Amino acid sequence: MAPTTTPDALRPLEKAFQRHQRPQQAALIRAIPRLPVKPYITSSTPMSTLEIEASQNVLLHQEKPWLHLRRIGELVQGRDRWLLCETRTGAISMLKQMSEDRGRAEFALLSTLHHPSILHVDDSFCYNSQFYLGYEYCRFTLEEVLCVPIKLGEDHIRYIAISIIAALEYMADHGIVHHRIDCQSIRVCGKSGKVFLSDFEKATLYRRQSLPNTDFEALGLVLIRTMNKNHLGQLDVNSVREQRRENKLYGIHDAEYWSHCKSLIDFLDDLFIN
C-alpha cells in the first residue's frame, strides 16, 4: 500500500492524525464528529424496502449483458465469489451475482453513494432472474494483505483508518450503517495502494439522526488485527475493552513496537468508548 497517495479529500483527516502526547485526546476524533453510541435505534429500514426507491434508478444498460462482457475467470475470496469480465473497452470488471430482489435493493443503496473510499459500481443488470452488480476492479482484500509476510507500519494503518473513517462519515450523512466492516469488506488496489470499502449486503438505512456505533467498533477490531497480523485470533469488542481496562495494549503481541504510536492508540481508545 502507498500512504503517500492519499486522495486530496482525505488530507484534512490525515493532518489531524499527527502524533501528540498522551493523555491528550486523539486529534482525529475531534476532527471527525463521532456518531453517538446511544441511544441505539430500535426501528430501521432494511435494505429490502429500498426496492421502491430502486424503481427511480435506471440500469446502466438494457441490452443482453454478455454482448459487451467477456467472462475471463472466477475469483473466490472468503464469503464472496466474483465473476471477472472484460468490457468492450478492455477494462476488467468484478461481477457479483445475487437474487433479483436483493440485487435491486443493494443497487438502490449504492446508487446514492459516491465517495473516493467506497468501491464504485460501474455496471448492473438482470439476467435469467439473477441480478449482477459490476464493480471496478480492485483485486485484494485486506484479509489477503495480512497473509503477505510484510510488516505494516503506522503510516499504513493510519491510511486505512483515514480512508474507512471518511467513508463511514459520508455514509452516516446518508443514514447508512454498513454492519459488515471486517478485513474482507475492505479492499486494497494493487496499483495505487488506495483503500476502499465494499460488501454492502448487510447495510441498513436508518430513518433517525442518531446511529449505532457498530461500524466504528468493527473498524477498531480491523485495525487491531492489522497491527497484530502475525498473531491473528478471534477478537470481540467486550474482550478488547476488558484488556484495555487491565492496561493491556489490546492484546497486541508486539506491544512495545506500537506503544510509541500515541495518536493511533488514542484513536483506538475513542473507537471503543462506551
On whether both 122 and 221 belong to a single domain, the answer is no
When divided into structural domains, the chain yields a total of 2
C-alpha cell at 203: 447495510
Tell me if 51 sits within 8 A of 105, measured CB to CB.
yes
On whether both 30 and 103 belong to a single domain, the answer is no
Q: Side by side, which strands form the sheet with 92-99?
A: 69-77, 80-87, 92-99, 130-136, 121-127
- Whole-angstrom distance, CA of residue 270 vs CA of residue 62: 47
On whether both 183 and 240 belong to a single domain, the answer is yes
On whether both 132 and 61 belong to a single domain, the answer is yes
**Length reported for the chain:** 274
Q: Domain boundary residue among 89, 117, 136? A: 136
On whether both 110 and 234 belong to a single domain, the answer is no
Instruction: State the CB neighbour count (10 A cutoff) for residue 231.
Output: 11
Tell me if 10 sits within 8 A of 166, measured CB to CB.
yes
What CATH number does the domain containing 129 carry?
A: 3.30.200.20
- Whole-angstrom distance, CA of residue 54 vs CA of residue 227: 40
Domain with 84 in it:
47-136
Q: Is 22 exposed, middle or buried (0-12, 13-18, 19+ CB in 10 A)?
A: exposed
On whether both 247 and 152 belong to a single domain, the answer is yes
What CATH number does the domain containing 36 carry?
A: 1.10.510
On whether both 154 and 250 belong to a single domain, the answer is yes
On whether both 167 and 221 belong to a single domain, the answer is yes
pLDDT tens for the chain, residues 1 to 274: 544 444 554 444 444 444 433 333 343 334 333 333 322 233 344 444 443 344 344 444 555 676 788 899 999 998 889 999 998 888 899 999 999 889 988 998 898 899 999 999 988 888 888 899 999 999 999 999 998 888 888 999 999 999 999 999 999 999 999 999 999 999 999 889 999 999 999 999 988 778 888 999 999 999 999 988 766 567 788 888 888 777 777 777 777 888 888 888 888 888 887 6
Q: Is the pTM of this model over 0.85?
A: no
On whether both 146 and 204 belong to a single domain, the answer is yes
On whether both 16 and 150 belong to a single domain, the answer is yes
Q: Domain boundary residue among 136, 168, 185? A: 136
Q: Domain boundary residue among 136, 164, 179? A: 136
